[in-house]
Amino acid sequence: MKSPYRGRIAPTPTGYLHLGHARTFWIAMERAREAGGQLVYRNEDLDPQRCKPKYTAAALEDLRWFGCVWDEGPDVGGRFTPYHQSERLPRFLDAWKHLKDAGYIYPCNKSRKDVAWATQAPHNDETNSDTIYPEHLRPPLGTGKVAQTPGHTNWRFRVPSDRRIAFDDRNLGPCAFDCLRDFGDFIVWRKDGLPAYELAVVVDDAAMGITEVVRGQDLLISTARQLLIYEALGLHPPNFYHTPLLCDSSGQRLAKRHGSLSLRELRVAGHTPQALRTSDDWCSGLDN
Ligand code: GLU
């Protein structure tokens, strides 16, 4: 039997949300609504250095102002509480242990500099040379299996060679990425004791019964990585719907530096959510 639609919005409280976030979350909400399903709000506040409670509060307030409504979340509760990722560490540790015992991940103490230097090897694709972890820096298979805790080191997922990760995006259609060409061994656990985004998001989307993930197209490669994690953990992946990114009038992708396009500033400047949502390209002229 097909499970009922469950979507989610998952902001990271490192700053004020901008119109780009709002548009993605709005699409997520509409899709949940059209499918007669549920929408979960998850606060992705894993990193205590960068995430601030004031931004958590602001995100909830700004998205409510914008017109977003959710069925479960930190402010309304629900079956899958807690909805703050910082309170879900034991689940991430279980996943780390599973991946480690099964040999999918290895401890990696190479510095960024080591990796940067090694990636200057001639065979790497120029565009990816700073993201592909060089195969010759990998330790032998089975390394790290006896570790009882992640310790103070990064852990990387050993990406299989000769694999193409393909998925049918609900918005973009067929997508495919080649392992070790489009992306390399990626970090699943950080040396500061926290799970990396790729692991935490998979564990939580699966635990919360999410059936479709709606997010920006900048995370397409992350989706390929995450599909490997689903497979390694023996979990059924959700569907994916990647949204186009919002750009400013000079064609640059919106980011936190676009203070004038934060929902907060727009509200203060007298814009209404209705008008913002109905303008053709959402932010035309607003950043001038
Ligand atoms: N917290 C992540 C972000 O804000 C969520 C990305 C996702 O939707 O998977 O970028």
Buried b (16+ CB within 10 A) or exposed e, 242-266: bbeebebeeeeebeeebeebbbbbb
Q: What is the pLDDT averaged over residues 255-261?
A: 67
Atom of ligand 1 nearest to the CA of 44: 1
Q: Which residue has the higher pLDDT, 255 or 230?
A: 230
Q: What is the pLDDT of residue 249?
A: 73
231's enclosing H/E stretch is helix 220-233
Atom of ligand 1 nearest to the CA of 215: 8
CA of 225 from ligand 1 middle (Å) equals 14
Domains 1-87+246-288 and 88-206 share a fold: yes
Name the residue ranges covered by the structural domains of the chain.
1-87+246-288, 88-206
3-state helix, strand, coil in the chain (%, to 5): 35, 20, 45
Q: What is the pLDDT averaged over residues 221-234?
A: 97
| Per-residue pLDDT at 49 exceeds 70 | yes
- Of the candidates 48, 87, 82, 85, which has an alpha carbon nearest to the alpha carbon of residue 192? 48
Q: Which residue's CA is the nearest one to ligand 1's atom 8?
A: 215
Atom of ligand 1 nearest to the CA of 201: 9
Cβ < 6 Å from ligand 1: which residues? 10-12, 44, 201, 215, 219
Is domain 88-206 in CATH 3.30.930.10, yes or no?
Answer: no
| Per-residue pLDDT at 288 exceeds 70 | no
Substitution candidate for ligand 1 out of 31, 203, 219 with most atoms within 8 A of CB: 219
Q: What is the pLDDT of residue 287?
A: 56
Say which DSSP state 71 is in: S
Q: What is the pLDDT of residue 256?
A: 62
Fold of 1-87+246-288: Rossmann fold (3.40.50)
Which residues, 6+ apart, have CB-to-CB distance to 4 below 8 Å? Answer: 35, 36, 37, 38, 211
| Per-residue pLDDT at 188 exceeds 70 | yes
| Per-residue pLDDT at 68 exceeds 70 | yes
Q: Which residue's CA is the nearest one to ligand 1's atom 5?
A: 10
Tell me the average pLDDT of the chain: 90
Q: What is the pLDDT averaged over residues 212-230?
A: 96
- Of the candidates 27, 5, 41, which has an alpha carbon nearest to the alpha carbon of residue 204? 41
Substitution candidate for ligand 1 out of 63, 201, 212 with most atoms within 8 A of CB: 201
Kindly report, residue by residue over 121-176, the tens digit of the pLDDT.
333 333 444 568 998 899 999 999 999 999 999 999 999 998 999 999 999 999 99
CA of 239 from ligand 1 middle (Å) equals 15
| Per-residue pLDDT at 55 exceeds 50 | yes
